[in-house]
Amino acid sequence: MLTGAPLSRFRKNLLAWFAEFQRDLPWRRTRDPYRIWLSEIMLQQTRVAAAIPYYERFLQRFPTVEALAAAPQEDVLRLWSGLGYYSRARNLQKAAQQIVALHGGVFPSEPEQALALPGIGAYTAAAILSIAFQKKHAVLDGNVARVIARLDAVRGDLRANGTWPKLQRSADHLLAEQSPGDWNQAMMELGATLCTPRSPQCLLCPVSEFCEARKHGLADSIPEKRRKRSTVEITLASLVLVDPRGNTLLLAPPKSAGKSAAADDIHTLVSRMWHFPTVSVHQGNAGAEAQLRKFSEESSILGRKSRAKLLPLKKLRHAVTYRSITLLPFKVEVQTLPRIPSTKAFPLTGLTSLAISNLTRKVARAALASP
């Protein structure tokens, strides 16, 4: 573990490199905790380049915590639509409401209060508090963990019991307490741009002289690859009803926030948003039409013993975390859409302005592309 003069030099080198080479990102031009918080939530599971336009649109519509807290959830989800992992958006709004109710609309600067907000874990709290309030908390995310593991030549699975807390202790020890916000961003930037998962660019690295992995030729083999959860194949069949005015029928998101553990839970797969009538197909693709028809008749979407012709559309592929999904959409033309609870008619061409999942969006596109 670095101490004394080498530790000072390590911090100086990294901070100087960050000052000169950091990427110009919109959330780096502000100390506003709301903006930093939003960026940290968007960057969980989303690449920087993909997050930027969402970040800017979101702030145009919700420039303050109060505006976000007061908005209809549908509007928040619509602006998140396409980013995926919608629980992030729901928690963001719930936290904004708590901040308005309990903290006068200002993101709390104390860790206990920050950690009590929905969607804020140890990493996010440390990032916001250090960058916005210069609090002395070291962040540890995947990028920082990889950098530290290489610096200290830590072997094995970094998320294993015991290893992650050890990495957090190292991150705490390295933290430059005079500038914790810049320090944390510098560590993350190093992991994101030079000390990357594959082919780290050690020749350009500002702290290579301190790196044990580099010294021992281990940079490429640390961290060890984690065993991936094996892929689960799922087949879904969706029904796109279209009336003569081009309207279609969508089912409402479920009222309860409960999560099903089943890999093919439809509400999970459509991100708990408006969606086409959809079933999980269990007896091979050949049975898809019959199973979809049975479901649609039982839920009064189609009349009993309906003779409506289900036209198969182009087969689609979609992936949600470990699930590999084959989507079999069917279109059916009807004179009138059924009026049943928990459903609503929407113009098929206007679905993009709704809060819908990417899976539902793909089905809509396939229906629009069909003759």
Catalytic residues: 40
Q: What is the distance between the alpha carbons of residues 129 and 146, in angstroms, rounded to a whole number?
A: 22
- Segment contacting ligand SF4 by CB under 6 A, of 27-35, 123-131, 204-212, 289-297: 204-212
Contact residue for ligand SF4 among 71, 202, 263, 308 (CB under 6 A) = 202
Q: Which of residues 151-170 bind ligand SF4 (CB under 6 A)?
A: 151
CB of 126 to ligand SF4, least distance (A): 21
**Closer CB to ligand SF4, residue 190 or residue 292?**
190
Contact residue for ligand SF4 among 14, 96, 207, 270 (CB under 6 A) = 207
CB of 190 to ligand SF4, least distance (A): 7
CB of 170 to ligand SF4, least distance (A): 13
**Closer CB to ligand SF4, residue 154 or residue 359?**
154
106 contacts 130 by C-beta, under 8 angstroms = no
CB of 1 to ligand SF4, least distance (A): 15
Size of the site for ligand SF4 (CB under 6 A): 15
**Closer CB to ligand SF4, residue 43 or residue 219?**
219
Sign of CA dihedral 183, 209, 22, 68: negative
**Closer CB to ligand SF4, residue 68 or residue 211?**
211
CB of 19 to ligand SF4, least distance (A): 18
76 contacts 61 by C-beta, under 8 angstroms = no
273 contacts 253 by C-beta, under 8 angstroms = yes
Q: Is 15 in the site for ligand SF4 (CB under 6 A)?
A: no
HEC assignment per residue over the chain: CCCHHHHHHHHHHHHHHHHHHCCCCHHHHCCCHHHHHHHHHHHCCCCHHHHHHHHHHHHHHCCCHHHHHHCCHHHHHHHHCCCCCCHHHHHHHHHHHHHHHHHCCCCCCCHHHHHCCCCCCHHHHHHHHHHHHCCCCCCCCHHHHHHHHHHCCCCCCCCCCCHHHHHHHHHHHHCCCCCHHHHHHHHHHHHHHCCCCCCCCHHHCCCHHHCHHHHCCCHHHCCCCCCCCCCEEEEEEEEEEECCCCEEEEECCCCCCCCCCCCCCHHHHCCCCEECCEEECCCCHHHHHHHHHHHHHHCCCCCCCCCCCCEECCCEEEEECCEEEEEEEEEEECCCCCCCCCEEEEEHHHHHHCCECHHHHHHHHHHHHCC
Contact residue for ligand SF4 among 167, 213, 251, 354 (CB under 6 A) = 213
Contact residue for ligand SF4 among 195, 236, 328, 351 (CB under 6 A) = 195
CB of 329 to ligand SF4, least distance (A): 46
Q: Which of residues 111-150 bind ligand SF4 (CB under 6 A)?
A: 147, 150
User: 94 CB contacts (<8 Å, ≥6 apart)?
Assistant: 118, 119
CB of 199 to ligand SF4, least distance (A): 10
Contact residue for ligand SF4 among 208, 238, 247, 278 (CB under 6 A) = 208
**Closer CB to ligand SF4, residue 40 or residue 152?**
152
- Segment contacting ligand SF4 by CB under 6 A, of 88-96, 129-137, 198-206, 233-241: 198-206
Contact residue for ligand SF4 among 76, 205, 292, 332 (CB under 6 A) = 205
String of contacts with ligand SF4 for each residue 215-244, x by CB under 6 A: ----x-------------------------
Q: Which of residues 272-291 bind ligand SF4 (CB under 6 A)?
A: none
**Closer CB to ligand SF4, residue 62 or residue 210?**
210
158 contacts 111 by C-beta, under 8 angstroms = no
Interface residues with ligand SF4 (CB under 6 A)?
A: 147, 150-151, 194-195, 200-202, 205, 207-208, 211, 213-214, 219
